[in-house]
Amino acid sequence: MRPSARRHEVTAESPMAIPMHSDDFKAEVSTWAIALGVTPTEICLAPMRRKWGSCSTRGRVTFSLDLLLQPDQVRREAIVHELIHLRVPNHGPLFRALLAATLRSTSSPQEG
Ligand SMILES: [Zn+2]
């Protein structure tokens, strides 16, 4: 009777492939919403093929489930992008200025 000779099959073969919990993601979105002074009526996660998120005219933001597997920076950009749409519904100069300013203010000065 040997103690388990076989160890767990979980090895380093699946790096970074652990999705974050959807509740944690939504909490992150809520935190950003407060920081940006917007109030999404609903935060949704859904499968999406071509983009990270979308925003409805009623204030509902929907994000791709794939974002749960993305690094912090990608996730942050997608979240901030959609939330800014609650204030600016297009990709005009104001939108881009807000997006750039928000992302710049949250990254460390050493970055980029
Ligand atoms: Zn957009």
Name all domains of the chain by residue range, CATH numbers in brackets: 19-105 (3.30.2010.10)
> For residues 74 and 56, what is the distance between their CA atoms, to the nearest angstrom?
21
User: Which pLDDT value is given to residue 19?
Assistant: 87
> How far lies 100's CA from each of 16, 31, 34, 67, 104, in Å?
27, 18, 18, 20, 6
Cα–Cα nearest to 16, from 61, 76, 74: 74
Per the DSSP assignment, residues forming a β-bridge with 42 are 60
Output the CA 8–ligand 1 centroid distance in Å.
43
Answer yes or no: is pLDDT of 58 > 80: yes
**Terminal-to-terminal C-alpha distance of the chain:** 57
Output the CA 1–ligand 1 centroid distance in Å.
61
Kindly give the interhelix angle for 93-106 and 72-85, rounded to the nearest 10 degrees. Answer: 140
Output the CA 94–ligand 1 centroid distance in Å.
12
Q: Record the tokens describing residue 1, joined without a space.
A: 């009777």
State if pTM tops 0.85: no
Answer yes or no: is pLDDT of 111 > 50: no
Look at 31 and 12; give whichever has higher pLDDT.
31
> For residues 55 and 42, what is the distance between their CA atoms, to the nearest angstrom?
10
> For residues 76 and 71, what is the distance between their CA atoms, to the nearest angstrom?
9
- The predicted-structure confidence for 84-108, as pLDDT tens digits, reads as follows 999 999 999 999 999 999 999 876 5
User: Which pLDDT value is given to residue 112?
Assistant: 41
- The predicted-structure confidence for 23-50, as pLDDT tens digits, reads as follows 999 999 999 999 999 999 999 999 998 9
